[in-house]
Amino acid sequence: MTIRVGILGATGYTAFELARILLRHNDVEITALTTRQDDRPHVSSVHPQLTGRLDLPLENLSQDQLAERCDCIFGCLPHAASAAVVPGLLERGLKVVDLSADYRLRDVAVYEQWYGEKHPDPARLPESIYGLPELFRDPIRGADLVANPGCYPTSASLALAPLLKAGMIQPTDIVVDAKSGVSGAGRTPKLGTLFPECNESFAAYGVGTHRHTPEIEQNLAQASGQTCSVIFTPHLVPMDRGILSTCYAKPTAAVTTAEAIDALRQFYVDEPFVQVVDGLPATKHVSGTNYCHLTARVVGERIIVLSVIDNLIKGASGAAVQNFNLMYDFAETTALAN
């Protein structure tokens, strides 16, 4: 069975990584790439790395044109822009993996509080499926609309959910101190991601206000069945890609480092893309892959869980293909095992 796939926002970074991964998928044909530009640039002029590997223009396509050419859409648009088109695609019978934040939060009031704008498609929020297979796999199988997680929430949730579920850490006073490479901000130019602004510099941003805070709390609450509160502080690191999340939590009882690592290992024993390591993980260990590396240390009165992912792969496009594989009942690792 060949699934015809379209990628929205194809000039961007996550779209490029998606195309690269999907070209390795034997059951996929990429049949549409979209842009708002009207001059139909060839994909090789937008992403020279794809020269000779994909022969398609980027086009400003209508929803009817997408429905004629595609079975499934990967949405790589900014939030709000995504929810403006997803309903029409679903109504035309397409399946959608949405990489934006639009369908991740269950509660429209929480979305509007943290994103500071009206949700374009609020009725669909309670029924969209959150695509983090290691924590919530079953509903993804056969789903029509999967909300691909944010990059920081993936790294933090994979680190903390197992220990919360095992009752080893308290659900409050959790601190997630996370650092991301600059590709996390996308290819669309912004002042803060210009080379002279961020190179040789290291800064926090969104302190106390970052919109991934409620997404992390939602995941931890859903995984553990208890209300969770998280202080999340992201930082921009002058490197291309990668996220390191250092997560601090209070143990519920005396625990050793070996016991904490063992709990993580037991939880992820059958997971192809989560590796619990003994040494300290580094972003380079997972760069360009769909893996998350995790470890833990007990220091004083805290358990510290360290988690690394590639923001563009496990934090975005690799996870999207993992979800796609589940939606279509392909082996979950198809096109991702590198």
Ligand X SMILES: NC(=O)C1=CN([C@@H]2O[C@H](COP(=O)(O)OP(=O)(O)OC[C@H]3O[C@@H](n4cnc5c(N)ncnc54)[C@H](OP(=O)(O)O)[C@@H]3O)[C@@H](O)[C@H]2O)C=CC1
Ligand Y SMILES: CC(=O)N[C@@H](CCC(=O)OP(=O)(O)O)C(=O)O
Residue 234: CB minimum distance to ligand Y, A: 5
How many residues belong to the site for ligand X (CB under 6 A)? 27
Instruction: Give the tokens for residue 55.
Output: 């022969």
Secondary structure (3-state) at 276 = strand
Pairing verdict, β 129-130 and 145-147: parallel
Secondary structure (3-state) at 254 = coil
3-state secondary structure 293-310: EEEEEEECCEEEEEEEEC
Q: Rounded to an integer, what distance in angstroms lies between the CA atom of residue 335 and that of residue 27? A: 10
Q: Judged by CB, which is closer to ligand Y: 100, or 334? A: 100
Q: What angle do CA 127, 114, 36 make, to 5 degrees?
A: 75
Residue nearest to ligand X (CB): 12
Pick from 9, 12, 162, 234 the residue near ligand Y by CB under 6 A: 234
Q: Which of residues 22-51 bind ligand X (CB under 6 A)?
A: 35-37
**Catalytic residue flag (residue 76):** no
CB neighbourhood size of 10 (10 A): 26
Q: Rounded to an integer, what distance in angstroms lies between the CA atom of residue 295 and that of residue 261? A: 6
Q: Which of the choices ligand X, ligand Y, none does residue 187 contact, using the CB cut-off of 5 to 8 A by kind?
A: ligand X
Residue 209: CB minimum distance to ligand X, A: 16
Pick from 67, 236, 264, 326 the residue near ligand Y by CB under 6 A: 236
- Sheet strands (E) in the chain: 3-8, 28-33, 72-75, 95-98, 129-130, 145-147, 174-180, 203-204, 230-236, 243-249, 274-276, 292-299, 302-309
Q: Judged by CB, which is closer to ligand X: 2, or 37? A: 37
Q: Judged by CB, which is closer to ligand Y: 236, or 321? A: 236
Query: Among 151, 198, 228, 292, which one carries the catalytic annotation?
Result: 151
Q: Which of the choices ligand X, ligand Y, none does residue 95 contact, using the CB cut-off of 5 to 8 A by kind?
A: none
Q: Judged by CB, which is closer to ligand Y: 95, or 104? A: 104
Pick from 8, 77, 151, 168 the residue near ligand Y by CB under 6 A: 151
Q: Which of residues 44-83 bind ligand Y (CB under 6 A)?
A: 79
Q: Binding residues for ligand X, per CB under 6 A?
A: 9, 11-15, 35-37, 76-79, 81, 99-100, 150-151, 183-184, 186-188, 311-312, 315-316
Q: Binding residues for ligand Y, per CB under 6 A?
A: 79, 100-101, 150-151, 180, 184-185, 234, 236
